[in-house]
Amino acid sequence: MRLLAAPVDIDPAQALLELVQWTAGEVRYWRAEVARIAEETPGKLTWGRTKSEEGVGPQGPIDSTTMEAAPPVAYRMLESAQDRLAKYATAALRAGVEERRVRLAEDQGAAVAGVIRRILERLDLLEWQAELIPTIVPEELRALTAGA
């Protein structure tokens, strides 16, 4: 328990993003499990064993199985993970996590533009080469982001 409960320094926005990412992975896993169950055993998503007892009781041997209309554990785990994912995603959006990411991307873009501008200034380009800058640089940056 000490290992799991050890404090970790983390930015709250980063913590929310990590919860969203981990829970999205959990949802993906349980969806695959539910799909596998549905494919392997049609009808098992709505009908199945919910209780099983084996052993010896006061009246002798016990071998009892209860079947009823109920979803399997994998389906219930999927529902739980989906609910948590929605809760974490909503909290992240409310906290402005996505806005913060956009702001960081804008800041990085401005930094890259500044570096490119300084590089081009230091190259002492000929006039005809400098005239191509407003065309070539935006084209290449758009190609870079389109490839990402």
| C-alpha distances in Å from residue 91, one per residue of 64, 70, 94 | 45, 31, 5
Looking at residue 3, what is its pLDDT?
67
Query: Residue 23 is which amino acid?
Result: T
Cα 27 to Cα 80: distance, rounded to the nearest angstrom = 9
- Per the CB < 8 A criterion, the answer to whether 81 and 21 are in contact is no
Which of the pair, 55 or 116, is modelled with greater confidence? 116
pLDDT in tens, 41-84: 878 888 777 777 887 777 777 778 888 888 888 899 999 999 99
Which candidate, 43, 147, 21, 35, places its Cα nearest to that of 88? 21
Looking at residue 27, what is its pLDDT?
96
Half-sphere exposure of 128 (CA within 13 A, CB side): 0
Mean pLDDT of 117-145: 89
Cα 35 to Cα 45: distance, rounded to the nearest angstrom = 9
- The percent of residues in the chain predicted with pLDDT above 70, rounded, is 97
Which of the 8 DSSP states describes residue 125? Answer: -
Looking at residue 32, what is its pLDDT?
95
* Domain residue spans of the chain: 9-95, 99-148
Residue 38, C-beta contacts closer than 8 angstroms, at least 6 positions apart: 44, 45
Looking at residue 126, what is its pLDDT?
92
1 pLDDT more than 60: no
10 pLDDT more than 80: yes
